[in-house]
Structure 1
Amino acid sequence: MLNWLDYRKQLAGRIGQFAKLSPGTVQGYQTLSRAGASTGHLDAKTRELIALAVSVTTRCDGCITVHTAEAVKLGATRDEIAEALGVAVALNAGAAMVYSARTLDAVDAYSAAAQAA
């Protein structure tokens, strides 16, 4: 697959280059990243488990490497991570079902419009 440790280092370097080109963008991202943690309602490990599930649903390798490293550092077990990933899989399937229903609704709307024309 991927050498995740090397990939994370390479990614950090490229993001550093991007930060020089567009510092406001990276600063804004960092502000967003810190905002959730400031409430204190969830612990850091739980936030990282959520981040991993979202990383899978958005198909972001960069997110996966960063949040896996943090989750492991915060003591998340392989079993906890697998459970979080299971939620991501369930939601992706659920989202596909919801959007399938929406698509069928669109089909009905277009079919009705075509018949009325």
Structure 2
Amino acid sequence: MFSNWPDLVSTIKQSFGALSKSNPKMVKAYMALGEAAAENNVLDAKTRELISLAVAVTTRCDGCLGTHAQAAIAAGATREEVAAALATAISLNAGAAYIYSMHALEAYDALKS
């Protein structure tokens, strides 16, 4: 197992509370981002959580993976839906690596001249 996910999510939630006591204005603003994203109800909670899981993969955030996996389960996402969202993240991240490889070669060529 890569991580003890229940313990990780619990630790994150406890730590989140501690951080909010230290900087409540910042945490309030952070929480407002999620509320704003859900405001128009164009995407349901399950879709937002599937997107969040895919983004968490591309940003390599274990805490995001744990908390959004838990939220996806609560929103009714199936394992198959999660796997499909992750397949999309894999295909995009490979594409991003290809694009940035072209950037790296361009930088090399430009700097070598």
Say yes or no: TM over 0.5.
yes
Alpha-carbon distance between aligned partners in 2 of 1:101 and 1:4, rounded to the nearest angstrom: 36
Match of 1:96 in 2: 97
Partner of 2:78: 77
Report the Cα distance in structure 1 between the residues aligned to 2:59 and 2:79, rounded to whole angstroms: 21
Q: Which whole-Å deviations, capped at 9, do the CAs of 1:14-38 have from their partners, x for residues lacking one? A: 1111111111111111000111100
Question: Which residue number corresponds to residue 21 of structure 2?
Answer: 20
- For residues 21-77 of structure 1, give each alpha carbon's deviation from its aligned partner in whole angstroms, at most 9, with x where no partner exists: 111111111000111100111111000000000011111111111110111111111
Query: Which runs of 5 or more structure 2 residues have no equivalent in the other structure?
Result: none
Instruction: List 4+ stretches of structure 1 deviating above 4 A.
Output: none
Query: Corresponding residue for 2:12?
Result: 11
Residue 7 of structure 1 and its aligned partner are, at CA, apart by: 1.4
Counterpart-to-counterpart distance in 1, 2:105 and 2:20: 43
What is the TM-score normalised by the length of structure 1? 0.92
- Cα RMSD of the aligned pairs, angstroms, is 0.9
What does residue range 49-64 of structure 1 map to in structure 2 within 5 Å? 49-64=50-65
Q: TM-score, normalised by structure 2?
A: 0.95
Identity %: 48
